[in-house]
Structure 1
Amino acid sequence: MKAFNSPIKFWMALLLFALSALACQTLTNGLEPVAPTITASTSPAVQNTPEATQTQSSSLSVVTPTATQTLVPIDEELQLDILQTLWEIVDQDYLYPDFNGLDWKAVYNEYRQKVEAGLDSESFYQAMDEMVFSLGDEHSIFLNPRQVQAEEAEYSSGHDYVGIGVWVQFVPDKQRGVILLTFPGGPADMAGIQAHDSIVSVEGVPLDDEEGNALDLLLGIEGTPVTLTVQTPGESPRTISIPRGRITSFLPVPYELLSTPSGKRVGYIIIPTFSDSSIDAQVGDVLRILTEDEPLDGLILDNRLNGGGWDSVMSATLSYFTHGKVGYFVNREEQEVLDIAGKNIGGSAEIPLVVLVGPDTISFGEIFSGILKDQGRATLIGETTSGNVEILWGYDFKDGSRAWIAHDTFKPINHPDWDWEHEGIVVDIEVPADWDEYTTQTDPAIRAALQHLDP
């Protein structure tokens, strides 16, 4: 993992979801409780003691739920100390020296007055979160000690929980949980539930609230049944009963061997996240499997679910498809080159490549896709990404709270004028395709990719 002279840097994904979700310690866009896209950090006093954890995701990796804990009261002196330190961190390290037009000194005075007027711990932490959120970058965030403990407990436990083994996204507008992936050999997989299916209700409870709370009912005691209504795109809903099971697995990297209209062999790989440390190795294994008998004529990397994660995992995965200096991490003081050491597996470094992207391609998911476009290695198909490419650095405080502050951005080496933060990663071929409306066989983005690879 890339480290500078102070806090560990990490790419945040789907932070807008995490802002509301962390308060209850469970993301609202996950079928079974999911981990927010946050990692461990070092203290503002520059005590370099990183604790390796992971992000998530659209980041939606499944984890064991954590019990709510009461915040320990902190006195006014400590509150003022945290406020002062937080203000100085932003003043010195924040990516945008104009603070996005905010009078940062006036903000400090405003919140100091609030602290001096008297705040309980809950109100103080909420105030600190509001202060950071006022920066307006939609990424930086402040976490209270309870939220920090919850995320670290979740990350340390990994994918070890009792449920049905799915990775989902709750879609409030459609009142359903869209299945992104299933864990191979898990209860859902064995019951025939597949990616692109949707969960409409659990135990007869519809997903008709703003947070999809009915999805929590999927968790329970190992061996007990859970009844859910599932819908496959283009089919009528069906009700099935599934026994809950223990899931202990890395997030999978699904793949298929597809054919173009003329019969060319095209590999299809879903890269779900860079927050799971096994992803790069899994992609390498898949490349070996797909090219074991004969070489591929083309490759489709589906990055539409990828909400970011570790820069080290992104770089290692990128190494299969390109090499050399590909861009720079840039902050207020300096820039650092990203130099990729290539690994050619089954012709992966030269194979014609299509990368699928969309609105849920975020952070290092965007950077990965954008670099391959900038290098001339890939054609991008799908929808232009949202433009969330700031890198957050984490700072721990003595009370156990943590701030994530936008510190860097990324510039591609061949087109440094591309403004990915504000414009997103622009696709070469526009093909909208909602995940829950198509199967792999009917997905218009995949069809467009196959057509592109079969001129």
Structure 2
Amino acid sequence: MPKSLFSAPVLRAAALVSALALVPVTNAGLAAVDSATFRELDTFMDVFQRVRADYVDKVDDKTLLKGAIDGMLASLDPHSSYLDEADFDNLRTQTDGNYGGIGLTVTMEDGAVKVVTPTEDTPAFRAGIKAGDYITHLDGVLLYGGTLNEAVSQMRGKPGTDIKITIVRPGRDKPFDLTITREIIELKPVKWEVKGDIGYININSFSKNTGQDVRAALLGIDKALGRRPTGYVVDLRSNPGGLLDQAIEVSDAFLERGEIVSQRGREKADIERYYAKPGDDAHGLPVVVLVDSGSASAAEIVAGALQDQHRALVIGDRTFGKGSVQTLLPLSEKTALRLTTARYFTPSGRSVQEGGIEPDLIVPQLSDPDYKARPRFREADLRRHLINEAKVDNSLLEDDTKDDPRFTQTAEELKKQNIEDFQLDYALKILRRINGTATPARVAQAGKR
């Protein structure tokens, strides 16, 4: 490359580009970057060199460049990120294995750790931690200003050991402390049981075997009853999502035909559609799907597919509203880039980004005494979330203070009736109002009585 062809700033920017491995330093690579970009890279190089030379403490280049990469991705959307070795191991743990910890899915918001959802039947869930809670201290040490990975590492640890967590909950006047004992968090994505003559399938996450486990649950329910059930309740509440292929497989288990989901990238022609294969593992029996504000991503794909295909009645609360697809792009054996590359759409062409899935029937969780007072935490609350210009404004519905006459019981009254989970109890009652030959339309009608 003849030096006379490029100014000093361009050469410095090209060196930085090469160092960061963003584009090769070739004539073709440089031609793809316009002069304005080179000026910005030159400014970055000035800052980089000043920090190296003048910051009060010596900082190694790896730390500075990692911070620059994190900042670049954080400026895009809440779900794009750079995964170093520790982050990569955490991701594999979430989809593959077990770990010692308390069972929380968390995010970082303005330097604070915010709970996305507690995993069901884990120490955090049993301690009463809620979606939308802020974790301010761990064992009395302030978390603000640290990284999410550092907070996650502190919450994990040897099973049997205690950790004190300080919670700030919107709607409460003061922070409060919870002491939680770590356990082995066994990632069992699917649990099932028979409730009378109804099959209950609880899907906690979409990890690598979720679809297979749902099909096994359908067979197990038939075997336990010695016949086919009246119908199924599929519980997707507080399910933070997971793998796209598993959401497709779970949807396919309940569908005979038709589109499940489509994903659309930057270009108009960049559309990929996924369809159900012939064969309904649920035998066409009626299905009620339970969702809430913690049902996100892959859980919303399933709820949206079954709703749009008129295969199930969706009840509960409006879902989280994460309608974007992240692709894992390996950078080395131990690092990767998790990048938002597409939006997904339900079979009818709806994007759930921001707006979420609106239930066919809104059923409040009356057995939770904090239900009305606790603010809902959703995708639209995250900074720099992707905008959905076609989003429906749900605020009028959610701010409606008029009580539905069907849902006037208090938590205390339900406790006396031994109803620990009102939404689930209501779903079971819907299915029991009909017989085993009911169509999804009749299920919907039963829910409106």
Query: TM-score category by the smaller chain?
Result: 0.5 to 0.7
Residue 428 of structure 1 corresponds to: 360
Opposite residue 112 of structure 1, the aligned amino acid is: L
The higher relative CO (CA closer than 8 Å, separation ≥ 6) is in 1
Unaligned runs of 5+ in 2: 1-14, 49-60, 166-175, 372-414, 434-445
Residue 338 of structure 1 corresponds to: 274
TM-score for both structures, normalised by structure 2: 0.59
The alpha-carbon distance between structure 1 residues 451 and 109, as it changes in their structure 2 partners (threshold 3 A), is: farther
Query: Is the 8 Å Cα contact of residues 317 and 358 (structure 2) preserved in structure 1?
Result: yes
Q: Does 1:182 align with 2:89?
A: no
SS of the residue corresponding to residue 123 of structure 1 reads: helix
Q: Which of the numbers 78, 81, 104 marks the counterpart of 1:142?
A: 81
Residue 258 of structure 1 corresponds to: 195
Residue 425 of structure 2 corresponds to: 447
Q: Give the Cα separation in 2 of the matches to 1:79 and 1:423.
A: 41
Q: Give the Cα separation in 2 of the matches to 1:269 and 1:169.
A: 21
SS of the residue corresponding to residue 452 of structure 1 reads: helix
1:127 Cα offset (Å): 2.5
1:303 Cα offset (Å): 0.8
Give 1 or 2 for the bigger CA radius of gyration.
Answer: 2
Q: Does 1:112 align with 2:52?
A: no
1:421 Cα offset (Å): 1.7
Q: Which of the numbers 102, 117, 124 marks the counterpart of 2:65?
A: 124
Q: Does 1:272 align with 2:212?
A: no
Identity of aligned residues (%): 19
Q: Give the Cα separation in 2 of the matches to 1:218 and 1:80.
A: 32
Pairing 1:216-365 to 2, within 5 Å after superposition: 221=158, 226=162, 247=184, 249-259=186-196, 265-274=197-206, 276-292=207-223, 293=225, 294-326=227-259, 327-331=261-265, 332=267, 333-345=269-281, 348-365=282-299
Residue 59 of structure 1 corresponds to: none
CA deviations 1:400-432 (Å, max 9, x no partner) are 75433322222333x22x232242211111124
The alpha-carbon distance between structure 1 residues 303 and 114, as it changes in their structure 2 partners (threshold 3 A), is: farther
Q: Give the Cα separation in 1 of the matches to 2:318 and 2:331.
A: 38
Q: Greater CA deviation, 119-128 or 282-291?
A: 119-128
Query: Is the 8 Å Cα contact of residues 83 and 128 (structure 1) preserved in structure 2?
Result: no
Instruction: Determine which structure has the larger helix proportion and give its number.
Output: 2
Query: Is the 8 Å Cα contact of residues 117 and 294 (structure 2) preserved in structure 1?
Result: no
Q: Give the Cα separation in 2 of the matches to 1:214 and 1:142.
A: 16
CA deviations 1:182-241 (Å, max 9, x no partner) are 37xxxx7xxxx985855999xx9579967999997775556x665889xxxxxxx9x999
The alpha-carbon distance between structure 1 residues 349 and 338, as it changes in their structure 2 partners (threshold 3 A), is: farther
Residue 18 of structure 2 corresponds to: 78
1:352 Cα offset (Å): 1.1
Residue 159 of structure 1 corresponds to: 97
SS of the residue corresponding to residue 358 of structure 2 reads: coil
Query: Is the 8 Å Cα contact of residues 218 and 226 (structure 1) preserved in structure 2?
Result: no
Q: Give the Cα separation in 2 of the matches to 1:207 and 1:448.
A: 43
CA deviations 1:11-44 (Å, max 9, x no partner) are xxxxxxxxxxxxxxxxxxxxxxxxxxxxxxxxxx
Q: Give the Cα separation in 1 of the matches to 2:262 and 2:116.
A: 37
1:270 Cα offset (Å): 1.4
Q: Greater CA deviation, 422-431 or 167-176?
A: 167-176
Query: Is the 8 Å Cα contact of residues 323 and 351 (structure 2) preserved in structure 1?
Result: no
SS of the residue corresponding to residue 181 of structure 1 reads: coil
Pairing 1:14-25 to 2, within 5 Å after superposition: none
Q: Give the Cα separation in 2 of the matches to 1:370 and 1:342.
A: 19
SS of the residue corresponding to residue 420 of structure 1 reads: coil
Pairing 1:58-77 to 2, within 5 Å after superposition: 76=16
The alpha-carbon distance between structure 1 residues 444 and 208, as it changes in their structure 2 partners (threshold 3 A), is: farther
Q: Give the Cα separation in 2 of the matches to 1:251 and 1:429.
A: 29
1:288 Cα offset (Å): 1.9
1:386 Cα offset (Å): 2.7
Unaligned runs of 5+ in 1: 1-74, 93-103, 230-236, 260-264
1:382 Cα offset (Å): 1.5
Q: Give the Cα separation in 1 of the matches to 2:36 and 2:219.
A: 54
Q: Give the Cα separation in 2 of the matches to 1:113 and 1:305.
A: 46
Q: Give the Cα separation in 1 of the matches to 2:39 and 2:62.
A: 18
1:377 Cα offset (Å): 0.6
Query: Is the 8 Å Cα contact of residues 179 and 195 (structure 1) preserved in structure 2?
Result: no
Residue 29 of structure 1 corresponds to: none
Residue 168 of structure 2 corresponds to: none
Q: Which of the numbers 309, 318, 324 marks the counterpart of 1:384?
A: 318
TM-score for both structures, normalised by structure 1: 0.58
